[in-house]
A and B are shown apart, each in its own frame.
Chain A
């Protein structure tokens, strides 16, 4: 029998995650349980970075020490919120998730257009819930303008963008963005939909703004939520992560009612509803997931 010696065997590249303290996997699982955000193994270092910043702030001596602070009352809820802020930082930019946009333009819009073909009024309503400073809303608006030259010719597209924070809404309305916010935006889109206002800043053109209505809205205000009807698409990225289980469930139920049959609900790229709502169908598109309210004649409700 041939014996293979250790020296003749080259190991696979060392797994970079092995260097991460196992406590971070516990923290990852806690973050998922509380918020629905999942930091995959290859992104654990981002979680570790976020924790390191918090540990410095708190003077925690080790990840284990930080875990204790993260799980001990009364500091628990506040600290979890701080950590969520840290790990979602910098996620806001235009064209943040290309797989979501591809799914929207290549699969979902053709499906919705086919569903509505018999309706007299061709109208598409999109809600950016928790729009922050407007990056997502403008990204959607620019993509819809592109589609108005193709699939959505003759359609009316409305984008309703809401946020709890007045200051964010005002910033969003201005539509002025620096280099970092447009780092994923191609030259094509920059030229077509922005005007440079100085060397470092671009402003969204009026025809893009025209598609969007920005306003303040509290997602936990039940009476206001009841009025947000007739949506075809709802985007709510990294907002529900801050809600406790009961409030989250309530908001998700509202979203389900707010959507038309056949409509879609998108969360952030590593965010999920876990099992908080059994009515939505989790559906996959290449590189992204979404939640679908089945159409009436699909027989899948």
Chain B
């Protein structure tokens, strides 16, 4: 990609700031989550969320989903924190904020399909890291949730170009990133990076957004990028893709990302991948329910 194109992307990404729909709590919360994580206090998070009634109410509903672990909706954010822990409540809040961050009317990609993929990937990342006894499942969740934000940027900032890429992907049944590259000359990885840098996200999350298709290019967080890469592929093969058939064979164990993750986590060798896949299937309905709770629309099963 040429330097001038990069500058153009950055300039156009600035337009996102002028959009009114991003909840005020979104960026401070994202900053809290992107920092190493443990330094936020419960009161700080509760105070932040108290500014936004809608986000807080949604958070309580989401906390009661079987995918997050509370049998009944909690009565307050504080109660949710006590049961689920601060980090998990932070990621739930982030999920709810993301639902309001971008005006759905202008999307090229069906927002419900996009959120189903992102939320699915977030949950698979968390589940995967639990299997590997990785230290921060919530960080993995956040990385999964945000990995494709470049598609939102392309939808909103480059709608005509992205529409063509989307048409090409559907027609040829190829991965959306490949279609972007072929028809636009750049992909959601570059535009997502520009947005992530503007939002001052942590370096490892920026790496995930930039390199989740070519894990070897990551310098700051290869294991996390590898985890997101594998989860992304798995989601796209199990009904949590972008709403069209991808003519694609995925051999996860032979993928370079597998070897990278294995170096860090020997537990990966013991994962029964077939069973992990079937377990993912059983979460698909819950993910659909969550998407309609948080993002207000029900996607068709892809």
CB-defined contacts of B171 to chain A, threshold 8 Å: none
Q: Is B197 an interface residue (CB 8 A)?
A: no
CB-defined contacts of A272 to chain B, threshold 8 Å: 272, 274-275, 278
Known: A1-B46, A106-B245. A284 touches B250 (CB 8 A): yes
Nearest to B283 among chain A residues (CB) is: A41
Main secondary structure, interface of B, reads: helix
CB-defined contacts of A107 to chain B, threshold 8 Å: 247-249
Within 8 A of B (CB), among A11-46: 11-13, 15, 17-18, 32, 36, 38, 40-43
Count A-B pairs with CB separation below 8 Å: 114
Nearest to A13 among chain B residues (CB) is: B289
Q: Is B81 an interface residue (CB 8 A)?
A: no
Q: Is A243 an interface residue (CB 8 A)?
A: no
Given A1, A270, A283, which contacts B249 in the complex, CB threshold below 8 Å?
A283
Known: A2-B50, A300-B254. A8 touches B57 (CB 8 A): yes
Nearest to B62 among chain A residues (CB) is: A12
Within 8 A of B (CB), among A278-295: 281-287, 289, 292
**Segment at the A interface, from B94-102, B214-222, B234-242:** B234-242
- Interface residue total, chain A, C-beta cutoff 8 A: 43
CB-defined contacts of B293 to chain A, threshold 8 Å: 12
A286 touches B246 (CB 8 A): yes
Given B75, B237, B275, B286, which contacts A284 in the complex, CB threshold below 8 Å?
B237
Given A8, A42, A102, A284, which contacts B234 in the complex, CB threshold below 8 Å?
A284
Per-residue CB contact flags for chain B residues 250-290 toward chain A (1 = under 8 Å, else 0) read: 11111000000000000000001111011101100110011
Q: List 19 A-B contacts (CB under 8 A).
A: A1-B50, A4-B53, A4-B77, A6-B75, A12-B64, A13-B289, A40-B279, A40-B281, A103-B249, A107-B248, A274-B272, A282-B251, A283-B251, A284-B249, A284-B250, A284-B277, A286-B236, A286-B245, A289-B274
Give 8 nearest A-B pairs by CB, closest first. Answer: A272-B274, A40-B282, A41-B282, A284-B237, A1-B50, A38-B278, A284-B250, A9-B73
